[in-house]
Amino acid sequence: MKARVEEADERLLVEAAQQDPRRFGELYERNFDRVYAFVPRRVASRAEAEDVTAEVFHRALVNLPRFQWRGVPFASWLLRIATNTAADQQRRAGRKRLDPAPEIAAPETSDARQVEEEERSARLFRLVQQLPADQRRVVRLRFAEEKSIHKVAQELGRSEGAVKQLQFRALENLRA
């Protein structure tokens, strides 16, 4: 029942954004984590992951008027764009694709375990946003900004021991 309500909500959001592109921000917020969980596993670096993710949403915005609702989540359409964009990125970078398959598989046919991992990552990213502010800052600085304990401590004006404890508590909260 909950899934049906969410689907109906999403359909309304898509239709609203098709009528008025300024409503696209809501679709972006709803789907950003899922797309971002998908992309880094298919590119070589954080910078490439950001480039590809940005391109996915730019392409989605431009092509939104052509999107047709066929009962599959909007995220599937975004992930199909992400698949192609990541493949383009690999070609541009002159690398062989990371995926050994001749074509990077569309999300619906890709390995179920990988899909599960990505969905877990997306949930994890959303949970980070719900952490208490000091724990959230430590997690973001430490893992997303890739800063050392020393640098995080300097930036937050806390001792290194306190930062390690915040890191520990944040991970415990995320695991709960």
Partner 1 sequence: MAKANLSEELNRALEPVLASPDAALPALSPHIAGLAGLALELRFLPRERFRVRLREELEWEAKMSEAAATKPLRVGFHTITPYIAVREATELIGFVKRAFGAEGGVLGIGSEGGIHAEMKIGDSMVMIGGGAALNRTPMPTALHYYVPDCDAVYRRAIEAGATSLMEPADQFYGDREAAVKDVAGNHWYIATHLNGPHIPPGLHSIQVSLHLHGASSLIEFLVKALGVEEISRHPAPDGTIAHATLRLGSSTFEMGAAHGPWQPMPTMFNLYVPDADALYCRALEAGAESVAEPADQPYGARVAAVKDPAGNRWYFATPGKTMSH
Query: Which residue of 91, 95, 120, 150 would you call a contact of partner 1, by CB under 8 A?
Result: 120
Minimum CB–partner distance for residue 1 and partner 1 (Å): 30
Q: Does 53 bind partner 1 (CB under 8 A)?
A: yes
CA of 23: how far to CAs of 5, 14, 35, 63, 80, in Å? 19, 9, 18, 14, 21
38, 118 contact by CB (below 8 A) = yes
Query: Which residue of 8, 9, 15, 58 would you call a contact of partner 1, by CB under 8 A?
Result: 58
- How many residues sit in the footprint of partner 1 (CB under 8 A)? 44
Spatial separation of the C-alpha atoms in residues 174 and 18, rounded to whole Å? 36
C-beta closer to partner 1: residue 10 or 24: 24
Spatial separation of the C-alpha atoms in residues 85 and 122, rounded to whole Å? 19
DSSP 130: T
- Type of residue found at 169: R
- Type of residue found at 126: R
Query: Which residues of this protein are in contact with partner 1, per CB under 8 A?
Result: 20-22, 24-25, 28-29, 32-33, 36-37, 40-41, 46, 49-50, 53-54, 57-58, 61-62, 120-121, 124-125, 128, 139-140, 142-146, 149, 161, 164-165, 167-168, 171-172, 174-175
